[in-house]
């Protein structure tokens, strides 16, 4: 039996954080699990886990219920239990350096100050996991970053956020199959694949 893929959504637990920009990783993985008929969420690995099949691939969806800066502890526990290498891990996270609603995918690289990515890199033995980078935009000045990231999406952002989450769920089979450029073309509102680089 082939190894499952571990799809991790990053965010902070608690209803008070549910609409934070920092929680777009949670939003993405929840929409995918809901639309793809995953099992009910249950508590495991210091997180919430749901399981399903996408494009004949077994997918474990994980939402760490630690704080963001300890996400790696939850991911490490799930990886160890299922004996997964880093290349079987896909992390959905907020990305300041992308315009709101834009998506990029890459494997490996730095953390760009993202505490969740830093924790996973530290606890899981390296940086060679896949990242689905979900653009939330930059507030324009570094002094405003924390408030921007931890602030809620305004209601007006629902115009692009909800359709984006739907497109992520619809295009999930392409991601499961490792077809990155078609996945990016699908989720980036029809952006041509030639304009959707891996990084």
- How does residue 114 score in pLDDT terms, banded at 50, 70 and 90? very high
Taking the C-alpha atoms of residue 155 and residue 167, their distance in angstroms, rounded to an integer, is 19
> What is the mean pLDDT of the segment spanning 172-190?
92
The mean of the pLDDT values for the chain is: 92
Domains and CATH numbers, the chain: 5-195 (3.40.50.1470)
Q: Give the span between the Cα atoms of 113 and 65, in whole angstroms.
A: 20
DSSP state of 20: B
> How many Cα atoms sit within 13 Å of 116 on the Cβ side?
30
CA distances from 163 to 37, 167, 186 (A): 19, 6, 12
**Average pLDDT over every residue of 7-19:** 96
- pLDDT tens by residue, 138-150: 988 989 999 999 9
- Burial of residue 119 (CB within 10 Å: 0-12, 13-18, 19+) is buried
- The predicted structure's pLDDT at residue 193: 38
Instruction: Sort 56 into a burial class: Cβ within 10 Å, 0-12 / 13-18 / 19+.
Output: exposed
The arithmetic mean of pLDDT across residues 15-42, rounded, is: 97
pLDDT of residue 113: 85
pLDDT score at 142 = 87
* Per-residue pLDDT at 1: 59
CA 68 to centroid of chain Cα atoms: 12
Catalytic residue among 22, 88, 93, 114: 22
Identify which has the larger pLDDT, 191 or 166.
166
Q: E strand or H helix at 111, and its extent?
A: none
Overall average pLDDT of the 147-175 stretch: 95
pLDDT recorded at residue 192 = 38
Tokens of 182: 């078609």
Q: Give the pLDDT confidence score for residue 124 in this predicted structure.
A: 94
User: Where does the pLDDT of residue 40 fall: very low under 50, low under 70, confident under 90, or very high at 90 and above?
Assistant: very high
Annotated active-site residue 22? The verdict is yes
Confidence at residue 191, expressed as pLDDT on a 0 to 100 scale: 45
Mean pLDDT, residues 158-165: 95
Return the minimum-mean-pLDDT range out of 16-20, 70-74, 174-178, 185-189: 185-189
């Amino acid at each position: 039996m082939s190894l499952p893929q571990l799809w991790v959504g990053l965010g902070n637990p608690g209803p008070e954080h549910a609409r934070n920009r920092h929680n777009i990783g949670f939003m993405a993985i929840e929409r995918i699990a809901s639309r793809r008929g995953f099992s009910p969420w249950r508590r495991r690995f210091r997180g919430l886990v749901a399981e399903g099949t996408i494009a004949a691939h077994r997918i474990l969806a994980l939402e760490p219920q630690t704080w963001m800066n300890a996400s790696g502890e939850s991911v490490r526990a799930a990886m160890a239990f299922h004996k997964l290498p880093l290349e079987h891990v896909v992390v959905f996270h907020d990305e300041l350096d992308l315009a709101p609603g834009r998506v990029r995918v890459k494997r490996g690289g730095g953390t760009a100050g993202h505490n969740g990515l830093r924790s996973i890199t530290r606890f899981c033995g390296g940086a060679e996991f896949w990242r689905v980078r979900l653009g939330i935009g930059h507030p324009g000045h570094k002094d405003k970053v924390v408030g921007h990231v931890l602030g809620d999406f305004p209601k007006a952002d629902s115009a692009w956020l909800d359709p984006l989450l739907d497109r992520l769920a619809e295009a999930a089979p392409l991601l499961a199959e490792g077809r990155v450029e078609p996945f990016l073309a699908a989720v980036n509102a029809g952006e041509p694949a030639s304009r959707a680089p891996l990084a």
